[in-house]
Amino acid sequence: MNESIERIKTLAAKLHGGDFLLTWEHTPADVEAVLLAAKVLEQLHRDNVSARVFDSGLAVSIFRDQSTRTRFSFAGAANMLGLAVQELDEKKSQIAHGETVRETANMISFNADVIGIRDDLFLGQGHKYMAEVAAAVDEGCRAGVLDQRPAVINLQCDLDHPTQSLADLLHLERTFGSLESLRGKKLAMSWAYSPSYGKPLSVPQAIISLMTRFGMNVVLAHPEGYDLVPETLENAGRFAAECGGSFTHTHSMQEAFREADIVYPKSWAPYAVMQERTKLLEAADTTKLDALEKDCLAQNARHKDWECTERLMSRTRDGKALYMHCLPADISGVSCEAGEVSADVFERTRLATYHEASHKPFIIAAMMLLTRSENPAATLRRLIERGTPRQFQEM
């Protein structure tokens, strides 16, 4: 822990007072500081040392899409630092209207230290909404309406899913021993078949935008028509060039898996469908929306062979690539008839995916700590020195 804290001190991370919305807006120092703080918080939790930094305060959450995993991770993170979760339920609120985002953002922030938002349903909207909330609390702070500026944390938008990709990166660091050892490793971010509709594009976009920053050779694979938002492909290309790795793009899952060190087979919706869907939803055209869903599922069904099987896994480096998934996976014969991954592959790697998921509460807590704390290294050191047991220790 001391080493991590010393390293945080030397990094010129600039997270204090700001938000965490898109990894590519943050410096390598910011990203590394999140990982380091998360590791210290994990160790504190294992050692039964309280990480309580707030005596009171609210962590507001806004979920514009279903969530179990991220909801519990956010709750765990907030609670760990001493914040109480207060969820904003938008049903019948007027928050959807441009004007009142400004207002609502301030109304929920008088006692808020953090605002976590999931808004991943519509292309062109999620990130925009988060940026509006951030601008509104900026204005509220400048005007003296808010005593403190709550940090806005992206719990998944249309562009990025930073709490997932950073938890994944921490999983890679743990698995391969260090960030340095990730250089030159091949990661296959591949589309996979799922019988479900409208899955967000943010996970693959997050993975290609982040992993290329660590010298990895990232291959993106998907059938034709399953493109990602161009900005994120540009990120991946630029970062690969800058950081000594590579970014390639293929329409073959087989090719992507060949000699891969890591595979991430995961379904997402066709790009054109997501764009069309946004328009139809705005127009509230339910007839066309139903038709679109049918088309989309039919389109998916043409690619049932995009499944992560043992045969495909055998093509990876020594047949032993690390399997990753943000969960829940669509497991063939288990959670659906045919899905993203075969039952044998998933069962073999199941507990590893739980480990992968276990980092998320600590990644979120690290983002909260780094955005809200002026000197996070000193804060972490004080937590260790204070040594308050999380649970009372009897003699």
For a copy of itself, the closer of residues 69 and 251 by Cβ is 69
Quick note: the x/- pattern for a copy of itself over 77-106, rule CB under 8 A, is --xxxx-xxx-x---xxx--x-xx--xx-x
Question: Contact between 357 and a copy of itself (CB under 8 A)?
Answer: yes
Chosen residue from 12, 284, 298, 395 binding a copy of itself by CB under 8 A: 395
Rounded CA separation 145/139 (Å): 9
Task: Name the minimum Å distance from CB 164 to a copy of itself.
Answer: 13
Read off the tokens for 293. 């869903």
Q: Is 173 left (phi over 0), alpha (psi -120 to 50) or beta?
A: alpha
CB count within 10 Å of CB 319 equals: 9
Q: Residues in the chain, how many?
A: 395
Rounded CA separation 277/270 (Å): 11
Question: Contact between 335 and a copy of itself (CB under 8 A)?
Answer: yes
Which secondary-structure segment (H or E) carries 47?
A: none
- Under DSSP, the state recorded for 247 is E
For a copy of itself, the closer of residues 57 and 215 by Cβ is 57
Site for a copy of itself in 372-391 (CB under 8 A): 372-375, 378-379, 382, 388-391
Residue from 344, 338, 304, 302 nearest 323 by CA: 344
Cβ burial 8-43 (10 Å sphere, 16+ → b, else e):
bbebebebeebbbbbbbebeeebbbbbbbbbbbbbe
Task: Name the minimum Å distance from CB 39 to a copy of itself.
Answer: 14
Rounded CA separation 150/157 (Å): 18
Q: What one-letter code names the amino acid at 98?
A: G
Rounded CA separation 314/235 (Å): 31
Q: Which stretch binds a copy of itself (CB under 8 A): 178-186, 235-243, 271-279, 323-331?
A: 323-331
| 269 within 8 A of 297, measured Cβ to Cβ | no
Rounded CA separation 82/50 (Å): 9
Task: Name the minimum Å distance from CB 75 to a copy of itself.
Answer: 5
Quick note: the x/- pattern for a copy of itself over 216-245, rule CB under 8 A, is ------------------------------
Question: Contact between 75 and a copy of itself (CB under 8 A)?
Answer: yes
How many chain residues touch a copy of itself (CB under 8 A)?
76
For a copy of itself, the closer of residues 67 and 275 by Cβ is 67
| 256 within 8 A of 250, measured Cβ to Cβ | yes
Site for a copy of itself in 54-73 (CB under 8 A): 54-58, 60, 66, 68-69, 72-73
Site for a copy of itself in 284-303 (CB under 8 A): none
Quick note: the x/- pattern for a copy of itself over 106-145, rule CB under 8 A, is xxx-xxxx-------------------------xx--xxx
Site for a copy of itself in 201-220 (CB under 8 A): none
For a copy of itself, the closer of residues 235 and 349 by Cβ is 349
For a copy of itself, the closer of residues 146 and 182 by Cβ is 146
Query: Helix, strand, or coil here: 257?
Result: helix
Query: Helix, strand, or coil here: 65?
Result: coil
Chosen residue from 361, 363, 368, 370 binding a copy of itself by CB under 8 A: 361
